[in-house]
With several copies, the nearest count.
Chain A
């Protein structure tokens, strides 16, 4: 079939979500590679912010396993307190941020805290927010990336770690969030765009199908009028991805 992994498709789509000149909370894993792709293609002036206290406008010279790898500090333009980076985020200086989650619902709320049971004795304990909830609360635009199955794309998340649109339009304003909300949900099977606070399927990956997306989603997904296959990455983009992650540590891992 098509020799592109779901991870590579996700990276390519994520890269398209970064606009030139934007300040982006890059996070780690796939978004980190998306930042590399964006910088080397259509967004040469994008700047990456890393919540542990780094700002850089050139991607690290080697594949990162964490944002704190020494290679991510080499060449940084700014290095210091998390508070300053989070402060820029809260001020509204950051255009976009990436996060993932264990569960997401149709309104883009994410759960990375716990599933089932009580918070102090859950059925499944997840690692927690990290900076995810902050990015979801405060970035102008949130880009969500996650594996796609019915246990993950659920009608309603059991715990809102990172706020999306709550129960729909107007909710963010009501709870006091100053801006933002998810703009896109990129999964292993397709791409949802948020319209009026709800995920609308825009494309399904050529590695998947519309039926597979429907069957793997915990709610009946709205479809865009022109729902279509996700654009394949160009050869140039695939070369960048594979050059940066030659062993496919992030782009071909089991999810």
Chain B
């Protein structure tokens, strides 16, 4: 097996993302959020993206504020420990920097939508959200009746992302990616996607992967690019590698209350920073802790 999948983050974003595509990212919920990937999307000025995920902590907020996003298919967009996401609010309330569409989900329905995609089912029937206004707002669900017991069910149709981005502790050069810690909907999202990009804290020899194959979240057969990118998830945590940088989230919250504040933050931490190494140099010495 070759090493054709091993590449840099900039190359992976250049080759495997395009304007208008749907990207599932931040699938483990609060941990293992591939912020490095989002920042590179912003630097490469991708536009009209559909973001798919459960919650995203501030990753979705940043991409929305940077004008990369057309639609958010998610259960929650904000800043988990600080509160609201200011860019998300500005986009929805004022159309700043552009209007976005929201396709509302709950965590469970987006999980089921990606499960359906992962196993090739057209939909999954559920009893969550009956009576909620989310199904009406979402517009893609159907209410139905179970032919087995006559009870009401909500049918959640499959979601099939063009791309899923997975950050993890280790992967081999074929993309066999191992994630330790909560998986959230990472596996469903990766298996539902057409292609997967893996950001690994360490790229390791196959024998390290095959010594514990139960930890492999997604087999390399789905993976098109493997990037070794240490600290790719900062400020979110990666189990066994680094903790969450709570203060960074709170600073972001304070700094981005205004559009000008966000633009300054973005210039400071993303657009004026060529790559993750420079970002980490800028963080030092405060981080890693």
Contact = CB atoms under 8 A, between A and B. Distances in A.
Chain B CB within 10 Å, residue with most, of A119, A159, A166: A119
A241 B103 CA distance: 38
Given A51-B107, A90-B119, A133-B106, A68 B29 contact: yes
B127 A178 contact: yes
A83 interface: yes
B260 interface: no
Contacts, number: 260
Given A127-B85, A130-B107, A79 B130 contact: no
A131 B106 contact: yes
Contacts of B184: 52-53, 81-82
Contact of A77 (B112, B120, B191, B216): B216
Interface string B133-163: 1100100000000000001110000000000
A91 B130 contact: no
Contacts of A137: 127-132
Contacts of A131: 75, 106-108
Contacts of B174: 57, 77
Nearest to B249: A65
Interface stretch (A147-155, A169-177, A189-197): A169-177
Interface stretch (B15-23, B34-42, B207-215): B207-215
Interface in A57-86: 57, 65-71, 73-84, 86
B210 A75 contact: yes
B246 interface: yes
A208 interface: no
Nearest to A57: B1
A113 B134 CA distance: 9
A52 B92 contact: no
Interface residues of A, number: 72
A48 to B, nearest CB: 11
B183 interface: yes
B102 A119 contact: yes
Interface of B: 1, 28-31, 54-55, 57, 74-78, 80-81, 84-85, 88-89, 92-93, 95, 99, 101-102, 104-109, 111-112, 115, 117-121, 126-134, 137, 151-153, 172, 174, 176, 181-185, 187-188, 191, 206, 209-210, 213-214, 216, 218-222, 236-237, 239-240, 243-244, 246, 249
27 contacts: A52-B30, A65-B244, A68-B31, A68-B182, A70-B240, A70-B243, A74-B210, A76-B210, A78-B213, A80-B182, A80-B183, A81-B184, A82-B111, A82-B184, A84-B187, A86-B119, A88-B221, A113-B104, A120-B101, A129-B105, A130-B76, A130-B106, A133-B129, A137-B132, A161-B132, A175-B130, A176-B127
Interface of A: 23, 28, 45, 47, 50-55, 57, 65-71, 73-84, 86-93, 113-114, 117, 119-134, 136-138, 159-163, 166, 171-172, 175-178
Q: Which 5 A-B pairs rank lowest in CB-CB distance, beginning with the nearest?
A: A68-B30, A176-B152, A87-B119, A90-B120, A127-B78
